[in-house]
């Protein structure tokens, strides 16, 4: 998903555009200055990843992103021993590389990772700012230029997959939500090439469907899906077919819910 940066003066040549929705840029910069780790919370496709790319470029920092998943273990972040010419040699993982070199290490959807990952982050997120590598016996101190950013979607949290309070309390936290309507129309129009007039009813439709979240559909329509939909229309596809392929089908498999969503769409998109 692509969001345009409108924050005056701070856009440099190769900074990915980003439209701030509140004080998140100031908070990020303050956290960076005070060497505090940061936690981003928010729904799918609302721009968290883009925000981190934007801030990394703006602050001139290297960005290393790790998408977390059920099988991601601490060793995938810190490193492991590999065989090389008959010897076992140590190879740094992405977190270790970031701690050594400085820059931002961004762990996307941290709650998905195995639980040992959270614990590896503990000594990095208190005043020690240190990454202990138990298997090599090394203890790497994070340089001032290192910052840890993690994100998760609170909508998915369940008992088995929640961050422990002892982990959460190690991060300054920002909550994200979808853009206000006018901003979202602008962003979708720029990303898809479709004019704003034809984008506006799509954003209106998205906002109506987002209110259904938790009832018939699990998650609200992301800005990304709106860009997909506008792209299909911009390529000449019928609007209703585009809405079906890029909004309704990705939201649900239930025939009744599909019919209901299509009726909402038909009422709006005449």
Closest CA to 154 of 44, 26, 34, 22: 44
Residue 174 or 205 with smaller CB distance to a copy of itself: 174
Applying CB under 8 A, the span of 141-149, 198-206, 240-248, 261-269 interacting with a copy of itself comes to: 240-248
Q: Is 203 in the site for a copy of itself (CB under 8 A)?
A: no
- 256 is an interface residue for a copy of itself by CB under 8 A: no
Q: If binding is defined by CB under 8 A, does position 115 make contact with a copy of itself?
A: yes
Residues 131-190 contacting a copy of itself, CB under 8 A: 132, 134-135, 137, 153-154, 156-157, 164-166, 168-175
| Residue 193 beta carbon to a copy of itself: minimum distance, rounded to whole angstroms | 9
Q: Which of 56, 57, 105, 118 touches a copy of itself by CB under 8 A? A: 118
Under the binding rule (CB under 8 A), the answer on residue 76 touching a copy of itself is: yes
Q: Of 185 and 220, which CB lies nearer to a copy of itself in the complex structure? A: 220
Among 25, 39, 52, 150, binds a copy of itself (CB under 8 A): 39
Which span (6-14, 22-30, 178-186, 197-205) binds a copy of itself, by CB under 8 A?
Answer: 22-30
65 binds a copy of itself (CB under 8 A): yes
């Amino acid at each position: 998903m692509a969001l345009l940066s409108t924050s005056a003066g701070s856009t440099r040549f190769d900074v990915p555009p980003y439209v701030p929705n509140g004080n998140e840029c100031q908070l990020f910069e303050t956290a960076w200055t005070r060497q505090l780790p940061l936690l981003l919370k928010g729904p799918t496709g609302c721009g968290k990843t883009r925000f981190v790319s934007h801030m990394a470029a703006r602050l001139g920092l290297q960005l290393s992103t790790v998408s977390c998943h059920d099988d991601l273990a601490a060793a995938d972040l810190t490193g492991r021993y590999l065989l090389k010419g008959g010897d076992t040699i140590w190879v740094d993982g992405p977190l270790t590389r970031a701690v050594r070199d400085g820059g931002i290490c961004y762990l996307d959807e941290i709650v998905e990772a195995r639980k040992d990952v959270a614990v590896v982050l503990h000594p990095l997120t208190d005043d020690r700012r240190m990454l202990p590598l138990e298997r090599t016996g090394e203890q790497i101190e994070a340089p001032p230029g290192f910052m840890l950013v993690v994100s998760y979607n609170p909508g998915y949290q369940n008992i088995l997959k929640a961050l422990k309070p002892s982990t959460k309390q190690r991060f300054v936290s920002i909550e994200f939500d979808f853009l206000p309507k006018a901003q979202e129309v602008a962003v979708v129009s720029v990303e898809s090439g479709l004019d704003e007039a034809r984008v506006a009813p799509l954003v209106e439709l998205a906002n109506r469907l987002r209110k259904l979240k938790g009832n018939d559909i699990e998650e609200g329509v992301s800005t990304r899906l709106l860009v997909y939909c506008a792209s299909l229309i911009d390529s000449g596809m019928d609007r209703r077919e585009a809405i079906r392929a890029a909004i309704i089908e990705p939201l649900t498999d239930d025939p009744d819910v599909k019919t209901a969503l299509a009726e909402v769409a038909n009422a709006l998109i005449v």
